[in-house]
Amino acid sequence: MAQLDLSPIGNCAVASLVDTKGVHRWFCFPRLDADPVFNALVNGDDPQTGFMDIVVENLATIHQAYIRNTAVLETIYETKAGETLRVLDFAPRFLLFERNFRPPSLVRRIEPVTGQPRIKVRIRPTFDYGKTKPRTSFGSNHIRFIGDERVLRVTSDLGPTFIQDEAAFLVDKPVNLFVGTDESLSQNPDSLAKHFLHETINYWLDWSRKLAIPFEWQKAVIRAAITLKLCSYEETGAIVAALTTSIPEAPNTARNWDYRYCWLRDAYFTVNALNQLGVTRTMEHFVRFMVNTVFGEKAELNPLYPIVTSTELDERQADALAGFRGMGPVRVGNAAATQKQTDVYGSVILSAAQLFWDERVDFAGGLDLYKRLKPVGHEAVKVALNPDSGVWEFRGRSRVHTYSVAMCWAAAHRMGLIAQRVGEDKDAAEWKAKAAKLRDAILEKGITKEGWISGAFGEDIVDASTLLLPQLGLLPAKDERFLKTLAIIEKRLLRNGFLLRYDEPDDFGLPETSFLICTFWYIDSLAAVGRVDEARALYENLLSHRNAAGLLSEDLHPHTGELWGNFPQAYSLVGLILSAYRLSRTWEQGLWHAS
């Protein structure tokens, strides 16, 4: 599992990660940030509980792929005798009664294709992060796994004894499993599974068909877009940073974090990606989530928020789980929620700014939203030059981080543009003056004696986040100061075509893996300064390191090529999407002027 060869299925209420053998290794129930009833992914090398799978007798080969442009996963098992079995895994999602139907449940359909393979069905959930083995009860067509606070129900046209005893049987007709809430099905499992499958496939095909995609790398972008959609929790509009917790950033380290929350740091880039894709409804819901959740009575913002406001974020360890490949601890919650990260003010305002210019959205920006943003903008100016934990969430120190100040500058700058847009001309002039002072401070205190941009004021720190300053509009990409910054970043942070975040020790020592979004930033920077051929070559190289499902996690080891970190990482998906748009030939060039 070092390569994290996992394929997510989901419906924007729940999601499950399925490995290349068809094993469900991670399923949080009943929502994306809940207790993982399937948790084998983070329970050592050979977990005996926390999964759902099938055991095929005399197995020879397994082939797996998504049904094209959908979140429906197909796994084909072939026995040594030539018998073939098809398994379809999905979470139902489609339009029903003019609303999106997305129950917190999974469907597994097992179909004989040739012959009658002999199999066992194994379903072994646990509760309370692996601490509690469930009790069971039976009905005529279902088995209930009962915990102290929750019940997981499996309804099937397979007798519950076969599930309870894991008894072998011949598959001479389709077998359907509905895994989720403790509710009866409205019709027989076979009919309902076929109906749900048909409608879910059609939903994803229609959704994918409406994407605005670049001419090149279409399959990669579509898969990333679908997966980014699966990271959204539609009930509130939040988008989680990843579907997992505690996949280490590097082997045998304690860099294990819970990413099943919404980071404001990622918001601006996520909104940009959704806008490019034309996924306006998801984009609008995400911005609405920020407005509803983030804007309270106080202007101070936290770095991250739960997908439902009542959720606790206090960090603790789930000691009953051994960790990914035994590399614990497994963490629940995230202490970064209490940090001071001043870049988040810019992220929120840059994200909300979309609503003031995008004519497609219903939740359009106007004077009322501007007034709600004003306290956030004022707070950004107030705290801009204060030390903070930075975009990389250092736990043991604070500095005046250049990127954080730049995002506060961007907050003031965009507030000036928004004020002008809504007719508040006096405010606009004041915002622009405040932004100018912050820009002057960055270009005075953030520049080293050698003329490159440091990661922190008054220090010589090489930091990949400084690559974003031209994208924010602080200075042109071909400005001499940025060209020098790009050069020293290449010299100090580049490893085999992949970029580190920084090269100095942090709370856990020297970093050894590449944070993949940084490599995408580097690729974008190369393109911006005119080194397009180099950028395209590095982009192709990065794509070649995706897993079997065509997806990326958070980190990659630049020497072994192994994927590390939480999965699938929304930040990496966003980077893949945005770089594709920046590098791709236009449709006209591709169709009529291809070399």
Question: Is the link from the previous residue into 104 a cis peptide, with omega within 30 of 0?
Answer: no
Question: Is the link from the previous residue into 30 a cis peptide, with omega within 30 of 0?
Answer: yes
Q: Does 216 score more than 50 pLDDT? A: yes
Instruction: Tell me what the mean pLDDT of segment 482-511 comes to.
Output: 94
- Give residue 60's pLDDT: 98
- Give residue 352's pLDDT: 92
Q: How many C-beta neighbours within 10 Å does residue 300 have?
A: 13
Mean per-residue pLDDT of the chain:
95
Q: Does 115 score more than 90 pLDDT? A: yes
Instruction: Tell me what the mean pLDDT of segment 93-119 comes to.
Output: 96
Q: Does 396 score more than 80 pLDDT? A: no
pLDDT tens, 341-363? 999 999 999 999 999 999 988 87
- Give residue 161's pLDDT: 94
Q: Does 85 score more than 60 pLDDT? A: yes
3-state secondary structure of 177: strand
- Give residue 385's pLDDT: 98
C-alpha to C-alpha distances, 514 to 244, 253, 463, 468, nearest whole angstrom = 19, 15, 13, 17
pTM score = 0.96
Rounded to whole angstroms, how far apart are CA atoms 33 and 89?
21
Beta bridge partners of 66: 73
Per the CB < 8 A criterion, the answer to whether 232 and 540 are in contact is: no
Q: How many C-beta neighbours within 10 Å does residue 478 have?
A: 11
Banded pLDDT at 503 (limits 50, 70, 90): very high
Task: Report which of 193, 161, 162 is spatially closest to residue 177, judged by C-alpha positions.
Answer: 193
- Give residue 108's pLDDT: 98
Rounded to whole angstroms, how far apart are CA atoms 282 and 230?
11
The CA-based angle 159-201-180, given to 5 degrees, is 40
Determine the residue type at 116: Q
Q: Does 581 score more than 70 pLDDT? A: yes
Instruction: Tell me what the mean pLDDT of segment 538-544 comes to.
Output: 98
Q: How many C-beta neighbours within 10 Å does residue 412 have?
A: 26
Per the CB < 8 A criterion, the answer to whether 265 and 392 are in contact is: no
pLDDT tens, 255-301? 999 999 999 988 889 999 999 999 998 999 998 898 888 776 567 89
Instruction: Tell me what the mean pLDDT of segment 407-435 comes to.
Output: 98
Beta-carbon contacts of residue 315 (< 8 Å; ≥ 6 apart)? 258, 331, 332, 333, 334, 335
Per the CB < 8 A criterion, the answer to whether 239 and 347 are in contact is: no
3-state secondary structure of 528: helix
Banded pLDDT at 594 (limits 50, 70, 90): low
Per the CB < 8 A criterion, the answer to whether 318 and 305 are in contact is: no
- Give residue 291's pLDDT: 82
Instruction: Tell me what the mean pLDDT of segment 186-209 comes to.
Output: 97
Per the CB < 8 A criterion, the answer to whether 419 and 372 are in contact is: no
- Give residue 310's pLDDT: 85
- Give residue 296's pLDDT: 62
Task: Report which of 156, 158, 138, 135 is spatially closest to residue 146, judged by C-alpha positions.
Answer: 135
Buried b (16+ CB within 10 A) or exposed e, 312-325: ebeeebbeebbbbb
Q: Does 137 score more than 80 pLDDT? A: yes
Q: Does 333 score more than 80 pLDDT? A: yes
- Give residue 395's pLDDT: 80
pLDDT tens, 143-170? 999 998 899 999 999 999 999 999 999 9
DSSP-derived letter for residue 317 is E
Beta-carbon contacts of residue 528 (< 8 Å; ≥ 6 apart)? 470, 471, 477, 478
Instruction: Tell me what the mean pLDDT of segment 321-339 comes to.
Output: 95
Per the CB < 8 A criterion, the answer to whether 13 and 235 are in contact is: yes
Kind and range of the H or E run holding 100: strand 99-101
Q: Does 1 score more than 80 pLDDT? A: no
pLDDT tens, 445-481? 999 999 999 999 999 999 999 999 999 999 999 999 9
Higher pLDDT, 310 or 118: 118
